[in-house]
Each structure stands twice: as C-alpha cells, then as structure tokens.
A and B are shown apart, each in its own frame.
Chain A
Amino acid sequence: MKNKIQNWVDSLENKNNPDEYESKQLVRLFGIGVPEGERLSPGSAFEKTSIDPPYVLKVCSSTILHKTELQGVILNSGPDTVADDRNLMQKRFPKENILVEHQSSFTGPEFIIGIIKDSALGHAVMVGAGGVFTEIYKDTAFRLAPCSVADAGDMIEELALSPVFDNFRGLTLDKEKLAKTVSAVSQLADKMGDKLSQLDINPIVFCDEEWLALDVKVMLEP
C-alpha cells in the first residue's frame, strides 16, 4: 500500500493539492466505490465516452471548493449532449480540467465521511448526515483512526439519522457496508500518516447495493 500511495502522490498534477478526480483515485485504492469517470484537460479532443450515460460534468480543480455556486456542475447530460456540455463548461472555466462521470441514481439519505487531524490525538474519522446541509444538521460521530468495523457501527448508531437503517420507509440501506467503508477511510488516514491533513467524502450514497462516493476532497499537508 505504501508504494501505491507514493505513486498516487507522485502522479498529482498540482503537487500537494489533489483535485476531485485524484482524490477519488486515492479512496479507490482503499476499496471505496466511486463513479466511473474521465478527466479531460483543457483543449483535449472529446467526442464521446465509453462510460454509461447519463453523465454529470464537473469542473475539476484543486482550488475550486464550491462547484455548484460557480455553475461548475452540469447534470443529466446524455450521449448526444455531452460534447456540447463539455464545451460549455470549458468556456466557463477555460483553464481547468473537466470531469465527466456516470451520474448515479440513488434513493435514501446522503452521508458524509471525513478525516481531520487533531493536534493531540492525531487523525480522527467522522461519519454523519451528509449533503449540502451537513454543517447545519451537525449530526456526526467521531472516532480515532484507525477504527474497527464494530466501532464504525457504533458511530452510525449514534447518529440521529440511524433509524433509516431500520427499514425506514422501505429503504434497504446496508449498514454493515457503510461501517466497513468508514473503517476503510480510517485505515486510509492511518496509512497516509502525517501527510494527510483533511478528507471529505460528501456525499456518499447507497447505489446498486454499494456505497458510492460522489464527491471526494483530499487535503494534504504542505
């Protein structure tokens, strides 16, 4: 794993500041599901993609944090429109890469999984109610990294949101798999060591029987 992480660090376009595409590559190394995607550099040719439609197009920059507010996301693109949508996006952000991804459909709530570094205790992993309102709900649970799957299960049970796993409104979300994902993220923090400053997976959703990280942001120590 050490080599894989080093290779990943070496491959970063903007050293120490991974973009969304690269952040997703990192979590994938730890078995966390991400949508199939392609990163297009400015000016590169693009007609079509082998990825299954529908598509979501996102500006893929390590410096833009809130893509939606800057019109940096186009949803529901199809095989016939994806090339035009890419051009439109490139006009908005002439110097940035564009990420084309399969747009996953999901039901059920969005979760957030994250990592921070505490000055006294080191890396801590968090799970919580995710999405754009995550900081308003403040429905979160923390443990130190690495944490076991059982610990992660306790964390999920601490959430106000946890009754969604009890067949709430017919939802069949896999709690055990989410716990495994939280534990895997904590392993990532442990393996990355001091290099890792913060990490956000928000949202992570349940899609085709797997938890899928729709957006990932990794922050490294300078």
Chain B
Amino acid sequence: MDTLSSLQQLLNPQKIAVIGASKSKGKVGEIVFRRLMGSRRRLYPVNPKEIVIEGHKVLADIGSLPQDIDLAVITISAAAAVNAVEECAKKGIPNHIIVAGGFGEVGEEGRKLEQKLKNLTRKYNIRILGPNSLGIFLPDENIDTIFVEHGDKALDRKGKVACIVQSGSVGVEALGYASNTGYGMRAFVGLGNKCDLDEIDFLKYFDQDKKTNCLGFYLENIERGREFLDAAKKTTLKKPVVVLKAGMTETAVSAVSSHTGKLAGSDNVISGALKQFGIQRVYDDEEFCDATKVLSMLKQAPGNRVAVLTAAGGYGVMCTDFIEKDENRAPLKMAKLADATKQKIKEATFDFTACENPVDITASADDRMFSQSLDALIADDGVDIVICIAFFAPPGISENLIDIIAEKTNSSDKPVIVFTKYGPFTDNFIKNLYFAGVVGYPSVGRTVRAARFLVERARILKRLGQEE
C-alpha cells in the first residue's frame, strides 16, 4: 500500500484495536478508549487484566484480535509497546500509533527500543506514528485519540487547518488556545519521535486532502530538510504552509574562520530557506494559531493598504503605529481614503467624525453607523484590507454587530479582520466572531500581524507564479 493510502486508513480507520485499554480512571488506556467510544467505529480493547469496558468485551491478548483491523493504538509503556507492535504486525494490522514516551528522547536504552520499532516497520511493512505521539484528532471524521484534555467541543466541525506537531505540550497548548477562541481544525497529528511517519508524509497527505486549505507544522528537527522544503513549495502553490521551527540547526563549519560562518548563526539559514520555498515562518504557538486561522479563513490580500475603522480613538492610533512599523515579513501602509468614502462615512455618522484613516466614529456610534462606515471602506478602491476595532461596551453597539461584520466579510473580496476586547468576556467574543465566520484577535499587535500574513501569502503566490 502506498503512503497516501495507508495514511488515509490511519486517519480514518473503521476497526480500531486499543492495546492497553483500561477502566482505571486517568490511565492513558482509559482516556484513549473513552474518546474513541465517541467515534462510532468498531473498537477492540485488549488487556489481560480487564474483562469488559463500558459494554465492550475486552480481549486478553493481541492474538485474539480479528484479521482486518485498520489501526492499533498502543497505550502501554515503551518496552511492552515494542512487543505489542510486533504481535499486531504478525496479526496483519497495518497502522500503529504509539503513545508511550521513553524512546529516543531519553537516552541509549530508549534509542535501542526505537531502532527496534524502525526494524519492525521494514520487516512487516507496517506504518508507525510515534512513538511519543500525542495521537490524532480529526473532528470531521469523529476520530480522537488524544489523551489530554483539549476542549474538542469548541473546535468547529468543517475546519480546514491541518496541524502537524512534533511536541506534546506545544501541540496541546495550541489546541487549548484554538478551542478557547474558535479555530477550524481539520486535523491534528502528533508526530512524536518520527520513527517512521514524519512531516513529509503528512505534508503530502494534506496537500491532497480536499478538506484542508492550510497546513501548519510545529517542528523541532527536519531530518530530510531539502525534501521537506521541495515538497512544501509544491503545496504552497495551492495552500499556505506555516512552520513553527524551534531549536537552531547546527551549522557544520569545520573551523569557523570565514566571515560567513560567523554570521550564519544557523537560524538565519533556516529563516532564509523557509522564505525561499514559500513557507511562512512563525515563532510561537500563539502566532502559529493566529497565522493558520487567518490564512485558512480569509482570502489573500489584494494589496497592502489598510483602512482602520474604530470606535475607540486610542486603539486606532495604536493600530496605525503597528501598521507603519517596519516589519520584514510584509510591509503594510495606511490606505489613503477617497473623498467619496469620507463623505459617505460622515453622512452615516457625525459631522465631527475624523474621516482620515484611522476612521474614528467614536463611542457614540451605533450598529448602523458601524455597518455603513464599514461598507464605505470596503468599497474604496484604495483599500485592500480593513481592520475593524469593535467594542461592545458603548450603549449604541449591540452583539448584532458580529453578524453585521460577518455578512460583509463573507460577501467581500477584501479581508476584514477584527480586534476586540471586553474584559473577562474577550475570549467569548472572539469565539462568537469565529462561529459567525469572522477572524478576530484580542490585541492590536496580533490583528495587524494577521494582516501581514495575508500580504506575505499574496507575495509568495506572486513570486511562485513568476517562477512557473
């Protein structure tokens, strides 16, 4: 079976064996099995110490499993997991997720165990995700093997971002952030130690996946670096690829005698390489989520001229500062508004409205004024992106504003990004915006940064288009 077909089977299995499934609360085998019970797939728990879990008959050993299992999730500890995989392989099970740590990441003993796993993949022609994998989570397929709490209910179905992460906790926190504020997750894959399946396999899979429109990677090492970059470049022609790369690459400079060697500092090389191959780089989990969210939900920006609509003067000025700041990722500039636009806004609002960009319609504004001003800005040919600073505290502004903005965002070719805050309710507002189809952030800096991702994406496509 080729890699794409086996990944298809791994990510959407019909019959799943859970090795080490348990009734004891809090055990990995218990959590994974409980999550999979929601998946409406055929489950085969295996554990010599259990007889029945939640009505599922537990098999005493792997040998008792039927022949046509698609996936085995191995929830037992390292050394036992290696034996379990071999037994599963003998049983003809093609795909395995190994949750346990204690392999290559802990030293010589672990490395030996991991080598054994590698040998098994060759000997039996099986695929392994992990070890030390956080698991997989595909809301649309109703598949979830993630053994930590991640607020899956809040992650909307029909999400389009494929997140492929190497580390456990960074991945979990990204999931947490995503579910707190609304985020369209197509798939979440924990790569772990990558003894077999790695980022390139999943890149190629989600490149082809029709439900994915944006790919995000958290990587600590890229073993087949050039191969990954070449494959990612092909994907970026169709879908944005975002990479959070932690840990510096080592630059093999035999004796650092050249100026270039001293200047390379190694992270500079990876930064340059990612740009060269059309990959958008981010630096932490928050930026990772911010970038993939906006790239997945909004069209690329037609240009870099930004109009700012605000009901709060201070934030309008702050926003302008962020826009005009010299940033390497992609320069933005404040749009120069047409006279007709200013006239429309004045007519819709007050005589005293400051109609130069940023447009400040003040806290006296109401929903209608906001709506008509937004219309005027979107219609202006000199505007490529609109940043809406929406506050819900003023008496004239209601929560209907969310739907008003949503309607315009969904019918406009120009991206509209919202910055909002409301004390302890901030996350809820961001989430409600998301459910209405609007990209929102709780800080000015992050909102402007999101606009840069869209402009950067447009520049990448332009560059790749020139090379075609």
Nearest B residue to A157 via CB reads: B328
A197 to B270, CA, bound (A): 18
**Residue of B249, B276, B463 touching A120 (CB-CB under 8 A):** B249
Encoded as 1 (CB less than 8 Å from any B CB) or 0, chain A from 38 to 65 comes to 0000000000000000000000000001
Q: Say whether A155 faces chain B, with CB atoms less than 8 Å apart.
A: yes
List B contacts of A120 (CB < 8 A).
221-223, 225, 249-250
**Residue of B223, B269, B328, B463 touching A118 (CB-CB under 8 A):** B269
Q: Say whether B257 faces chain A, with CB atoms less than 8 Å apart.
A: yes
**Residue of A112, A135, A142 touching B271 (CB-CB under 8 A):** A142
Given contacts A121-B249, A126-B263, 19 further A-B contacts (CB under 8 A): A114-B263, A116-B261, A116-B264, A116-B269, A118-B266, A120-B221, A121-B229, A121-B273, A126-B264, A135-B259, A140-B263, A141-B268, A143-B273, A143-B275, A144-B272, A144-B273, A154-B463, A199-B258, A200-B259
Nearest A residue to B258 via CB reads: A198
Q: Say whether B467 faces chain A, with CB atoms less than 8 Å apart.
A: yes
Stretch from A73-81, A145-153, A168-176, A204-212 contacting the other chain: A145-153
Q: Say whether A128 faces chain B, with CB atoms less than 8 Å apart.
A: yes
Within B250-304, the residues touching A (CB, 8 Å) are 250-254, 257-264, 266, 268-273, 275-276
Within A115-171, the residues touching B (CB, 8 Å) are 115-122, 124, 126, 128, 134-135, 138, 140-144, 147-148, 150-151, 154-155, 158
Q: Given the known A-B contacts A114-B263, A200-B259, are A143 and B276 also in contact in the complex, defined by CB atoms under 8 Å? A: yes
**Residue of B254, B264, B463 touching A197 (CB-CB under 8 A):** B254
A217 to B273, CA, bound (A): 24
**Residue of B250, B261, B269 touching A198 (CB-CB under 8 A):** B261
A199 to B275, CA, bound (A): 22
Is A134 within 8 A of B269, CB to CB?
no
Q: Say whether A69 faces chain B, with CB atoms less than 8 Å apart.
A: no
Chain B residues near A (Cβ < 8 Å) = 221-223, 225-226, 229, 249-254, 257-264, 266, 268-273, 275-276, 328, 463, 466-467
A151 to B460, CA, bound (A): 11
Chain A residues near B (Cβ < 8 Å) = 65, 112, 114-122, 124, 126, 128, 134-135, 138, 140-144, 147-148, 150-151, 154-155, 158, 197-200, 202, 217, 219, 221-222
Is A202 within 8 A of B259, CB to CB?
yes
Q: Given the known A-B contacts A121-B225, A122-B226, are A134 and B272 also in contact in the complex, defined by CB atoms under 8 Å? A: no
Q: How far is the CB of A71 from chain B (nearest CB, A)?
A: 20
Is A144 within 8 A of B254, CB to CB?
no
Q: Given the known A-B contacts A138-B263, A144-B276, A200-B260, are A116 and B253 also in contact in the complex, defined by CB atoms under 8 Å? A: yes
Nearest B residue to A148 via CB reads: B467
A143 to B225, CA, bound (A): 13
A221 to B262, CA, bound (A): 17
Is A154 within 8 A of B275, CB to CB?
yes
Q: Given the known A-B contacts A148-B467, A197-B254, A198-B258, are A121 and B263 also in contact in the complex, defined by CB atoms under 8 Å? A: no
List A contacts of B275 (CB < 8 A).
143, 154
List B contacts of A115 (CB < 8 A).
260
List A contacts of B467 (CB < 8 A).
148, 150
Is B254 within 8 A of A221, CB to CB?
yes
Nearest A residue to B270 via CB reads: A121
Q: How far is the CB of B259 from chain A (nearest CB, A)?
A: 5
List B contacts of A116 (CB < 8 A).
251, 253, 258, 260-261, 264, 269
Which 6 residue pairs spanning A and B have beta carbons closest together? A114-B260, A142-B272, A119-B252, A198-B258, A121-B225, A124-B269
List B contacts of A144 (CB < 8 A).
226, 229, 269, 272-273, 276
A148 to B221, CA, bound (A): 26
Q: How far is the CB of B281 from chain A (nearest CB, A)?
A: 13
Is B249 within 8 A of A198, CB to CB?
no
List A contacts of B261 (CB < 8 A).
114, 116, 198
Q: How far is the CB of B98 from chain A (nearest CB, A)?
A: 25
A175 to B400, CA, bound (A): 53
